[in-house]
Amino acid sequence: MMKGCRVMVVLLGLWFVFGLSVPGGRTEAASPRANDAPIVLLHGFTGWGREEMLGFKYWGGVRGDIEQWLNDNGYRTYTLAVGPLSSNWDRACEAYAQLVGGTVDYGAAHAANDGHARFGRTYPGLLPELKRGGRVHIIAHSQGGQTARMLVSLLENGSQEEREYAKEHNVSLSPLFEGGHRFVLSVTTIATPHDGTTLVNMVDFTDRFFDLQKAVLEAAAVASNAPYTSEIYDFKLDQWGLRREPGESFDHYFERLKRSPVWTSTDTARYDLSVPGAETLNRWVKASPNTYYLSFSTERTYRGALTGNYYPELGMNAFSAIVCAPFLGSYRNAALGIDSHWLGNDGIVNTISMNGPKRGSNDRIVPYDGTLKKGVWNDMGTYKVDHLEVIGVDPNPSFNIRAFYLRLAEQLASLRP
C-alpha cells in the first residue's frame, strides 16, 4: 500500500512541478461566425477536471484558464473530466453522459467482456440540448483525441455488438450505442497519438523490474478510499470496483483487488496508447463525413548529426527531457515498423503519430490550405512546443497560448454546419 501511495504522490507531484503560470486577457475575434456551437475541452492521459488539483487547471496552468479565456471572448466553453487511466471506450461513454446527462452506461456487452461494472456515475448534463439536435466542437489534447474520435463513431454508428447483446439478453440499450446521432460538428486533436506512442514501450521495459501499471492502480485504489483525496485527484475507476465497500475489511478488500481483471485487461489507457492498441482502434474508428477534423502536431526535439537520434531541445520540461524524450528519440523496433521516422517527438508522443490515424486506417490526411474540409483530417502543421507547453502546463515564452486557442475558437465558429 505504501508503494501505491508513493506512486500517487509522484504522479500528482509531476504536474505540480511543471505547473507554472501562463498569460491571460481578452482578444477580440475578427471573422464572422457561421455557427454558435459550444466548445468542450477533453483532456488526455492522467488529466483531471476543473475542481481537482487545488485549482491547477489542466487547460491553462495555475493562473491561466483556457475555458475562462474562451468564455470571456464569447465562445461558450466547458471542460469534461473523464477517467485519467481508462480506455477510450470507457472515456467516450463517460464523456457522453457528462454532455447530455444521465448515468454512464459502458454497455452490457462491453462490461461482460471486460469484467467490470456496466454502470458508472450519474451527471446532470452540461449540454442536454444536444439530444434535441444541437451541435458541439470538441478540442482534445493527447489521448483525448482518440476518445473524441471514438465518441463520434459511437454516436453516428452505434455498436452492433451492444445492439445484438441487448436484444439477445433482453436488457436496455444506451442511446449512445443506437447510432444516428450527429451532434459533433468538429474534432480538434492536439498532440494526439493517433498511431500510438512508443513511450508505452519504455513502460513495458520498466515493468521487467517494476510493475508500473499495478503500482498506479494500487495508488488509485488507495486514493479512492482516502478522505478528501478525490478532491485533489480523482482516478475515476469506479467501474473496476476499486472502491472499498461499506463494512468491508481491508484484508478482504485487497484480496478482492488482487483478483480484479483490471490488472491484465486491455480495457485501459495503457493498451490504447500503445502502437498495436492504437492500430486496433483505427481499424474501426473512422472519420465521419459529417464532421470536421483538425490535427495539430507538436515537436520539441532536434536530430543529432552523428547518431541520427533525436534529442530534447533546450526548454523542454525537465521530466520529459530527462526521462522520456531520449527514449522516444532513439527507439526503433523493426517488428512494429518503428523506424527513424518515429524519432521526432514532443517529450511524450512521437510527432509522426499526431497528424491523423494512418496505421490500420484509410482516413485521408490533407494539408490545411486555408479552407477546412469535412470528413478528412486537416493537418494544421507542427508547433515547436512540448506536450505540456501546448496546454499551458509548462509555459513557452515564444508560444502565445492565449492567441492559439482564441484563433482556434474563431476558426471553429466559422465552420458551416
On whether 252 is known to bind a ligand per the annotation, the reply is no
Taking the CA atoms of 236, 237, 238 and 243 in sequence, report the sign of the dihedral they define: negative
Q: Identify the residue whose cell numbers are 503500482.
A: 215
Bridge partners, 55 (sequence order): none
CA-to-CA distance for 139 and 161, rounded, in angstroms? 29
Written as one letter, the residue type at 102 is: G
Query: Is 395 labelled as part of a ligand binding site?
Result: yes
- Residue 359 in contact with residue 24, Cβ under 8 Å? no
- Whether 267 has a binding-site annotation, put simply, is yes
Q: Active site residue: 105, 195, 272, 346, which one?
A: 346
In 3D space, the residue among 136, 30, 36, 72 whose CA is nearest the CA of residue 402 turns out to be: 72
> Do 415 and 35 touch, CB atoms closer than 8 A?
yes
Does residue 121 sit in helix, strand or coil? strand
Q: What residue ranges in 35-183 does DSSP mark as E strands?
A: 39-42, 77-79, 102-105, 119-123, 136-141
**β-sheet bridge partners, residue 184:** 136
Q: Is 61 annotated as a binding residue?
A: no
Type of residue at 18: F
Phi, psi (degrees; rounded to nearest 5) at 364 = -90, 140
Using DSSP bridges, classify how beta strands 310-312 and 39-42 pair: parallel, antiparallel or unpaired: unpaired
Exposure of 327 by Cβ count < 10 A (0-12 exposed, 13-18 middle, 19+ buried)? middle
The active-site residue, picked from 86, 87, 142, 274, is 142
Tell me whether residue 110 is annotated as binding: yes
Q: Mapping DSSP to helix (H, G, I), strand (E, B) and coil, where does residue 195 land? A: coil
Told to judge if 204 belongs to the known catalytic residues of this protein, a careful annotator would answer no
Which residues have a Cβ under 8 Å from the Cβ of 209 and sit 6 or more positions away?
none
Q: Examine the residue annotation and report whether 65 is marked as an active-site residue of this protein.
A: no
How do beta strands 39-42 and 136-141 pair?
parallel
328-332, long-range: CB < 8 A, 24+ apart: 328/197, 328/198, 328/199, 328/202, 328/301, 329/301, 331/198, 331/201, 331/202
Question: H helices of 226-301, where?
Answer: 229-232, 250-258, 269-273, 275-284
Residue 181 annotated as binding?
no
Q: Is 47 part of any known ligand binding site? A: no
Question: Is 116 flagged in the annotation as binding?
Answer: yes
Q: Is 252 a catalytic residue?
A: no
In Å, how far are 86, 218, 227, 229 from 1, measured between CA atoms?
Answer: 21, 7, 16, 15
The three three-digit cell numbers of residue 166, written as one number: 441487448
348 contacts 261 by C-beta, under 8 angstroms: no
The binding site for Ca(2+) consists of: 315, 389, 394-395
The binding site for Zn(2+) consists of: 90, 110, 116, 267
Catalytic residues: 142, 346, 387
